[in-house]
Amino acid sequence: MFLESRFKKVSAKTQLEFVRTLLLDYAYQKDYSKFKETLGKAIKIIDKDNGNNHAILASIYEAIARSLSIFGFTKEARRILEEATKLSLDPFYSSQILRGYIFTFYSEKIRNRKTDYDKLNSVIKTSKEEKFIPYKRHGDQIKKMLKQINANLA
């Protein structure tokens, strides 16, 4: 409620940060209607900015993908993440995208859906590259989800 009440009073960059948080909040609350409304706001802000800030754009894409995965739309989530990988990103944001990919596989596992293990293994291999070592938080989140995915395999 706070983010929504301040939304129009902050800069476009801050609005995108608000939108990122709201997208995930509404997904975790299972409020698909509010999620769609907020997604519309995100698209308008991105269009107005012409998508010039790849870092923020990648962060928004990752939040949209995780949100879609929470709602069960993992294929759509991966398509968005594939678009994000086409952006020129520094390793921090690339690791964030990898975390988003792992989240889509995690979402499939908790729904007992078929998993593309070749893609999963490719993402895992990429996430272990040396350039991602400094981003411990993302790495720890990936490890935690992989542990949960593997536990669901048993």
pLDDT digits (tens, 9 = 90+) for 46-78: 777 655 677 778 888 999 999 999 999 999 999
Q: How confident is the model at residue 88 (pLDDT cuts 50, 70, 90)?
A: confident
H-run or E-run covering 148 = helix 136-153
pLDDT tens figures, 101-136:
999 999 998 888 888 889 888 988 988 889 888 888
Q: How confident is the model at residue 41 (pLDDT cuts 50, 70, 90)?
A: confident
Domain covering 2-153 assigned CATH 3.40.1190.20 in the classification: no
Instruction: Sketch the domain layout of the chain as residue ranges.
Output: 2-153
| Per-residue model confidence (pLDDT) at position 64 | 95
- Amino acid of residue 150: N
Pair 102, 127: CB distance under 8 Å: yes
| Per-residue model confidence (pLDDT) at position 74 | 93
| Per-residue model confidence (pLDDT) at position 103 | 93
> By C-alpha distance, which of 103, 95, 9, 100 is closest to 61?
100
In the predicted model, what is the mean pLDDT of the chain?
A: 86
The two three-digit tokens of residue 97, written as one number: 């995208």
pLDDT at 138 over 70: yes
Report which DSSP code applies to 71. Answer: T
